[in-house]
Amino acid sequence: MTGAAVDESATASLEILTGPARGTASWLTGPTLEVSLNEADMIRVAEVGSNPLENGVVARLHRSGASYEIEAFEETPLWINGERIESKQLEQRDLIEFGDKGPLSRYRMHRQGGRLRRSLGDMLDDAIDYTRVSRQPWRARWQRALGDFSHDFAFETTVLFRMTVVIALVILGIIAYQQYRAGMTLQQQAETSAHQLEDFARNLTRTKEEALRPADLNRLRQELRHSLSAAAERLEQLEKRSEASTRVIAEATRSIVFLQGSYGFRDIESKRMLRYQTDADGRPLFSLRGQPLLTLEGEGEIARREFTGTAFLVNNKGALLTNRHVALPWEDDTSLEALMAQGMEPVINRFLGYVPDIERAFPVELLKASEETDLALLTCNQVVSDLPYLKLSNRPPQPGDEVIVMGYPTGLRAMLAQTGDSFLAELQQDDSLGFWEVAERLSRARFIRPLASRGIVGQISEATVVYDADTTHGGSGGPVLDINGEAIAINTAIIPEYGGSNFGLPVVYARRLLLEAGLEVE
C-alpha cells in the first residue's frame, strides 16, 4: 500500500456488499485476525486466541503498518478485485471474496473516530465494482447490482435527497418528452410533398449525371485516337472467328431495335404532370441535398426519367419482344409506391424505336406485358414493310451450345464509341448532346447498330438459360441466338456473383405471351 493512502492513526473495516449481512461492517483491530465463514455465508472476524471461531478459518489478516496483509488459509480460495491470490497487502477500496460462495466485501481505511458513511457515489461505486469483479453470470450481476443500488438509495439516503432526485428525474423526463415532441413536429413539417418526392428527384438527378457532357466526348475522342473501343474489337474478333457467326449477325442486325423513352408521373384527378418547381425567373429550384424540387403546379418543365433498352422483331406485323422492366420502367423506380400513394400514376411521355439503316425513329407502343415473367410485347406498325424478323427456336438449347447475344448495352455511349473522332467533334461544335438529339444524329449517320457478343450456354433450367456472353444494362430485351440465327432466349439480366455470367428467359415463355396477345407464332 502506498503511503498516501492512510496514516498511522487510521483504522480499517470490512464493509459487506452482498449476502444476508449486506450493509454492515466488521471493524478490524488487533495484530493478527482470523476470518471465518458460517453456513449462512456470514463473515466473522476475531483476534487469534481471544475467541475461538466455531467455523473453519478461511483467511488471516496481519497488521502491516497502517494497513493489513491478507493471506489465504489452507486451500480456501481468496479473491481480491476479481483475481485469485495467496496473499496481498490490502489497499483502500480493495474488493475481497472469501471462498467461492462468500459475500463480496470492500476493505476501507478510516481515520480514528470517523464514522462509516456511504455517499451516493459510494453506492454507485459499489454497484459498478460488483458487476466488474463478480464471477456470477452477467445477467445475475446486473440484476443484483441494480437491486442493491435501489435498496441503498431508498433506505440509506435522506428523504429530502430522494425527493430532490425524483423531482430532477421527472423534470428531465418532461424536458426529454417535449424535445421528442418538438422533433417529431419539425419532422412532420419537413416532410412536405416535395420531400416525399425525393426518391424520384434523386433518379432525375442521376439521369442528369448520366447525360452526355462535352468532357465525355473529349474522353471518347482521346480513346479513339489510340485504339478502337472494346466493343468494336469484340465485334471484329467475332466476325473473323466464324463465318457462321458473321452470317447470323448480318442477318439479324436489322431485326434488333434500339428503344429510347421517357416517363413521368401525373395526378390521376387533375391530369397535371409532375414538373420541376421554378423561381420567378423560370430557374429550377433545389433542396438542401441538391435534389430538384417537384410540384404539380406552375409551368415548369415536366420531370421525365429517361431510359433505353433493346427489342427485336418476331413477326411481319411489327410485334417486338423485350423485357417487362424495359416496357414498364417505373416498376424499378424506388419512388413509385410513394408517388402512387399521393394519387399519381406513371405515364410514358415518349417511346421511340430505331433500327439500323433507317434514319427516322418510329413510335413504339406497349401491346401486352407478361404477369408471370420479365417479358413484354410492343408494336411498331410503321416500319414493318421490308424488315426481317427473328424466328423463335423449337429446339431447346443444351449446355455447351454456342450463342450470340445482340443488343444495345450502355445505350448511346456504346454507339458513340464506334463513331470516330470526326463525328464526336461535330456533336461538340453543334452542341447536340441532348438525349433525343444524339440518337437522331446517330441514326442519320447510320451509326445505330447493335453490338454482338459470343458465349457458351452454361446451365439450363425450366425458367432460365445461363450463358457467359458479355452484356450489361441497356442490352436487356435483346435476343439470344443459336448458331442457326434463331432466338432461344430473351436476354434479361446479369449475374455479377458468377463472374459476369447472365441469363435469359427461354422462348417458350415468349410463345405463351404471343398466343395470349392473339398473335401468330412460327
Cell representation of residue 95: 474488493
* Whole-number Å distance between alpha carbons of 313 and 318: 6
Q: pLDDT per position in the chain (522 positions), as tens?
A: 333 333 444 578 888 888 777 778 888 888 888 888 777 777 888 888 776 666 778 888 898 888 899 988 877 888 888 888 888 899 888 888 887 777 888 888 875 444 445 566 667 777 777 777 676 777 777 777 777 777 766 766 667 777 887 888 888 889 888 888 877 776 665 554 445 556 666 666 656 655 666 666 666 666 655 554 555 555 555 555 567 788 899 999 999 999 999 999 999 999 999 999 988 888 888 887 778 888 888 888 999 999 999 999 998 888 999 999 999 999 888 788 888 888 999 999 999 999 998 888 999 999 999 999 999 999 987 776 678 899 999 998 999 999 999 999 878 888 888 887 788 888 877 766 788 988 998 999 899 999 988 889 988 988 899 998 877 766 889 999 999 999 999 998 765 555 557 889 999 999 999 999 998 776
Cell representation of residue 276: 420541376
Q: Which CATH number fits domain 10-116: 3.30.1740.10, 2.40.40.20, 2.60.200.20, 3.30.450.20?
A: 2.60.200.20
Residue pair 480/450 in contact (Cβ under 8 Å)? The answer is: no
- In the prediction, which pLDDT does 115 show? 42
Helix (H, G, I), strand (E, B) or coil at 496: helix
The answer for residues whose C-beta is within 8 angstroms of residue 457's C-beta and 6 or more apart is 397, 398, 399, 400, 401, 402, 403, 465, 466, 467
One-letter amino acid of 28: L
CATH 2.60.200.20 domain position(s) in the chain = 10-116
* Whole-number Å distance between alpha carbons of 217 and 420: 11
Cell representation of residue 12: 480499517
DSSP 299: S
To 10 degrees, the CA torsion angle through 113, 114, 116, 122?
Answer: -160
- In the prediction, which pLDDT does 336 show? 83
Cell representation of residue 89: 497487502
Please give the model's pTM, rounded to 2 decimal places.
0.58
- In the prediction, which pLDDT does 45 show? 85
Handedness of CA 478, 483, 486, 492 (dihedral sign): negative
Strand partners, 47: 33
The answer for residues whose C-beta is within 8 angstroms of residue 404's C-beta and 6 or more apart is 238, 245, 248, 249, 252, 452, 453, 454, 469, 480, 481, 482, 483
- In the prediction, which pLDDT does 203 show? 66
CATH 2.40.10.120 domain position(s) in the chain = 195-516
The answer for residues whose C-beta is within 8 angstroms of residue 257's C-beta and 6 or more apart is 310, 311, 312, 313, 320, 353, 354, 355, 364, 380
Residue pair 314/226 in contact (Cβ under 8 Å)? The answer is: no
- In the prediction, which pLDDT does 339 show? 86
Phi-psi region of 446 (alpha: psi -120 to 50; beta: other; left: phi over 0): left
* Whole-number Å distance between alpha carbons of 267 and 250: 46
- In the prediction, which pLDDT does 354 show? 93
CATH architecture of the domain 195-516 equals Beta Barrel (2.40)
